[in-house]
A and B are shown apart, each in its own frame.
Chain A
Amino acid sequence: MLLFDQLNKGDRTLRMVAWSVLGGLLVLAVQLARLQVVSAEKYRATLQTQTFKTVRIPALRGKILARDGRELVGNSPRFRLDLYLDELRPQFQAEYTRLKREALAIRRAAMHEDPTAGWSRFLALFHRNRSTPHLNATEIDALQKLARFLVVSNSVASVNSRLGTQLAVSPAELERHYIAKRFMPLPILPNCTPTQVALVTEQSWSQPGIALEQVAVRNYPHGMLASHLLGHLRRNDTFDEEEGAFDYRLPDYKGAIGLEKAFDRDLRGVAGVKSILVNSAGYRHRQAEETLEPAHAGRNLVTTIDLDLQREVERALNTVKGGDERGAVVVMEPQTGDVLAMASAPSFDPGEWIDTISVQRYQSFHLKEPERPMFNRASYGEYAPGSIFKIFHTLALLENGLDPAEIYTVEPNPKKPGKGVYFLGKRPIEDTAPPGLYDLRRAFIHSSNSYFINYGLRLGWEKLLSMGRRFGLGDPTGIRIGEEKSGFLPTLEDVQHSSLTAGNLANVSIGQEITVTPLQMAVGLSAVANGGRVFWPRVVQRIESDGPLAEEPPTTVKPGQVRNQVVLPAASWDFVRSAMRDDVADPAGTGTAARVKDFAVCGKTGTAEIKGNGRKDKVTWFASFAPYEAPRYVVIVMVESGGSGGGTCAPVARQVYQFIHDREQGLHRGLASK
């Protein structure tokens, strides 16, 4: 070939030169092959990591809906004002140049005191940098930092004068952002009002680097409604291993309590990833962003909550004591175990957690005694049931062959004539019911402690406790709402091993020394109302993706899942139900305050005496269902430090039933008029 002829033609020296050239070119070619063919993957990977930053984009959180599809918790847009540092780079540079010039001028002025200036300037032609002032690396760093801060402060100031705000960015804050994530915008104003949005987007105003970003935040259209059940969110900055590593994650929330926590996985959805092209200075490269994986919105929870009923329940609970109520109400559908309403007082505003909550505020929520607003009394509060336990006690007596017509005589209390008393050995146990002759029905309606202690002692630990246990008392109900406690019913082992005495049994007979949650009581009473089916309570009936084009089919939770079937003769059920009806309907009953015209409410009052913090306190109850003929509602009312079950709690139940009855009547009228 014409070219390589040189390798074997001509004289020796030229051949040598030609071979050397060929050798040199081969060396280059071999190294090229090593870099571009052998190690190409390695360099490509390095290129990827240095030029792309991955950012996690949180998915839109699923909504929580009432049973009719109305929104209990949703999302609403919010406008955040951002400052893009990359767009300020020319200004950073200009400001730095200005600062540097000033600094050098000062230094040069100090230098000009040198008398041999003329000669040294001539020498400077040969010795660069000897006599011209210059800055060292630390000084340059400091000046650049200052320049950035001045430029950003200027931008923020011009935003302030535009919007009339008092925003400020601290040098430390800016530097943190600059070092860790300068490819991301610096948020200046987290929540712009509509007026501010209008001012910013107006044509006449343009400020480099300023941009509005729309973000979704949790929206609570009904404020504090059902806040314990729904729960609240908390800022989440932890890295999830399943998702892999990101260079940055956008602010994200996770459920802290309530349904938000229990169904966090479904609600949260799947986060997406976008990659941002960054330049060698670590800034975002213009607008080049690419969504690598889109975020998939979370799924919606359809609850069993009856929104209007919930609102009425809370209204009733929050007015019972004139403002400082501590209590809970659970409304359940006895034929399915669906929770229709669940309220706990006092309550809190979940919206306060959208932005950072102050420590004081947080502590006031959690630590304030005895209110403890964060505490879900409906499922997490354990209370002595008091006399409402007599419902189950009665069933146990009937099952064990007590003749309801058997007469027991209650002695009068020598200290308090007009009230009964029971002597356990020599120890008197006071009664609130009057002395006299009692059969089971009369004892139930008057809530005679002496009667139930007498027969309870005869019945014994095992038969009494096992009846409560069969109705689910003392066990978690298995509801998935984040917070639940089990209550306490002693087991037989407890009885044997901790030397419980007859005195303890006497107390347990009337619902003392054991605890239940209001939710448990709702499940147990539903079984009484429906003839023995103890349900797994249900509050979430469906988890479904949003929109008609959702790919995933909805997950449905079957209603009326029976956990345990309590088998008792029909006569027993009839006896207890009618006794509960009479407790409300009979003028001598304790629950007359729950009476609703044309709506047969059946109930049992309870007042448990407890010792809390060294002083005596009361837990008052009203456990009820209605209507008598075909029970459709169970309403459990519990109020801490109430007066009495009949006086404090029964009126709350009455208001709830009145609402239900009125609504049904209105519906009927509405249908009739059509």
Chain B
Amino acid sequence: MNRESLIRRDSGMDPLLWAAAFGLMLLGAAFIFSATADADAAAHLPWWRYHATAHAVAFAGGIAVAAALCLVDYGRLARWSLVAYWGSIVLLIAVFLIGVSRNGAKRWIDLGPLQFQPSEFAKIAFLFALANFLSRPADELRLPGNFIKALLMALVPFALILKEPDLGSSLVFMPTALVMMLVAGVPRPLLGRFVGGASILAALILVDVLFAPPQWKFIKLEEYQRRRLLVYFGVDFVARGSTPEEARQARLLQRDTAMNVDQAMISIGSGGMTGRGWRQGTQHSLGFLPRLGAHNDFIFSVISEETGFIGSITVLGLYGVVFFTGIRIAGEARDRLGRLLAVGVTALLFTHVFVNIGMNLRLMPVTGIPLPLLSAGGTSVLCSLVAIGILQNIHLHRRHY
């Protein structure tokens, strides 16, 4: 076997990964159209201003950026990782100063025609920075100081995004960081101790948030976040000793808070085995799914209602292809940086998918977190495709020439 054929065979991108990504993109465009076309038509928007059109444009842009990323070896990209990381931190701080609010959360920066979410960008920058940091020799990782540095790298964007507030996006940093550290070879006892401590802390926080009387609340969650957690953990809203009127108000509040998830379950459940057909779902068109979330965080409910169990499992399958391809690419990577990057990207995507679909299925509490490639939202689509692009880059440059 000569070298030339070797290169040719190996130098292509991974076709299976692209196929799965294209499948997801196709589904995303089709069902965003389904969820929004009626409303867009009713608002007399021209076709180029439809949600689905914007989504398709984001795909095109994302694919272009992903392809461009593949031109440069990831190793060279990683040299800029600290710059990107600090840049993203600056952007996150900028959100507080010049950001714009939508629905009560300040998550966007307005650039005239475009608005983008720095938190999405921060996820990618963080991946590079952490992978770069952890790619040092394994011996150095045994030092607790480095472990703490790595943790801090995750905690800074975590805290900033949590403050926006965007609980969902902030939470993805932790599992991603942990998986990357695990694969990088940070000693297991160290990780274990950290995970144990964090779990206890999280449990304490939960108990504080859910059950503590107001004057004992140390953690100030947004009220709606607290209510969502109450619903998730099945805590009764009606306080003991409340008047009938208060109880009534509390019940109403409980029903309203539980409404989104209940309606998502009804959407998914009523899809049955084969679904109600494309554009035949009523849950979004009649407004039972939140109007702002049907094409967004609740797109999985729309897909499930209209395509049934078969369609939902297909979606899970396509994501499975992406994840396993990601892990395979990690295994094939030429160096620790590539391996960590690939694992990080996979972990990041998986966390998004699990948390989002889990929320739709009532396995997870409601947190606003997009479903990669399916949810509408330009920055999310762009970053998801960049993530795919990074995997392809690692695959493409898996050997030294």
A36/B273 contact (C-beta < 8 A), A6-B331, A17-B183, A17-B327 known: yes
Cβ of A125 < 8 Å from any Cβ of B?
A: yes
- Per-residue CB contact flags for chain A residues 37-78 toward chain B (1 = under 8 Å, else 0) read 101101110110011000000000000000000000000000
Stretch from B116-124, B282-290, B375-383 forming part of the interface with A: B282-290
CA distance A24 to B358 in the complex (A): 10
Question: Which of A10, A17, A28, A51 makes the CB contact (< 8 A) with B288?
Answer: A51
Q: Which of A1-16 contact B (CB under 8 A)?
A: 2-6, 9-11, 13-14, 16
A14 and B331: CB pair below 8 A? Answer: yes
Closest CB of chain B to A13's CB: distance in Å? 5
B179 and A35: CB pair below 8 A? Answer: no
**What size tier do the contact residues of chain A reach?**
35 or more
B354 and A24: CB pair below 8 A? Answer: yes
Question: Which of A6, A21, A35, A44 makes the CB contact (< 8 A) with B350?
Answer: A21
Cβ of B346 < 8 Å from any Cβ of A?
A: yes
B97 CB contacts on chain A under 8 angstroms: 125
Question: Which of B272, B285, B325, B354 makes the CB contact (< 8 A) with A44?
Answer: B272
B185 CB contacts on chain A under 8 angstroms: 13
Cβ of A495 < 8 Å from any Cβ of B?
A: no
B343 and A17: CB pair below 8 A? Answer: yes
Question: Which of A5, A27, A37 makes the CB contact (< 8 A) with B309?
Answer: A37
Closest CB of chain A to B2's CB: distance in Å? 25
A43 and B265: CB pair below 8 A? Answer: yes
Cβ of A281 < 8 Å from any Cβ of B?
A: yes
**What size tier do the contact residues of chain B reach?**
35 or more
Select from chain A the residue with minimum beta-carbon distance to B222: A128
A40 CB contacts on chain B under 8 angstroms: 269-273
A44 and B269: CB pair below 8 A? Answer: yes
A43/B268 contact (C-beta < 8 A), A3-B320, A3-B321, A126-B96 known: yes
B361 CB contacts on chain A under 8 angstroms: 28, 31-32, 35
Cβ of A285 < 8 Å from any Cβ of B?
A: yes
Cβ of B324 < 8 Å from any Cβ of A?
A: yes
Cβ of B330 < 8 Å from any Cβ of A?
A: yes
A6 and B324: CB pair below 8 A? Answer: yes
B269 and A42: CB pair below 8 A? Answer: yes
Cβ of B304 < 8 Å from any Cβ of A?
A: yes
CA distance A3 to B363 in the complex (A): 26
A47 and B283: CB pair below 8 A? Answer: yes
- Per-residue CB contact flags for chain B residues 158-184 toward chain A (1 = under 8 Å, else 0) read 000000000000000000000100110
Closest CB of chain A to B359's CB: distance in Å? 11
B346 CB contacts on chain A under 8 angstroms: 17, 21
Select from chain B the residue with minimum beta-carbon distance to A13: B183
A28 and B268: CB pair below 8 A? Answer: no
Question: Which of A27, A36, A37, A51 makes the CB contact (< 8 A) with B282?
Answer: A51
CA distance A50 to B270 in the complex (A): 12
Cβ of B113 < 8 Å from any Cβ of A?
A: no
A18/B270 contact (C-beta < 8 A), A3-B320, A27-B363, A36-B309 known: no
- Per-residue CB contact flags for chain A residues 537-568 toward chain B (1 = under 8 Å, else 0) read 00000000000000000000000000000000
Give the 5 A-B CB pairs with smallest separation, nearest first.
A43-B269, A280-B287, A279-B286, A36-B309, A10-B331
Give 30 pairs: A residue, B residue, CB < 8 Å, sorted on A.
A2-B16, A3-B16, A3-B324, A10-B327, A14-B330, A14-B331, A17-B179, A18-B324, A21-B320, A25-B319, A29-B316, A31-B362, A36-B268, A36-B271, A36-B273, A36-B308, A36-B309, A37-B273, A39-B269, A40-B273, A47-B283, A50-B266, A50-B288, A51-B282, A125-B96, A277-B282, A277-B286, A278-B286, A280-B287, A285-B285
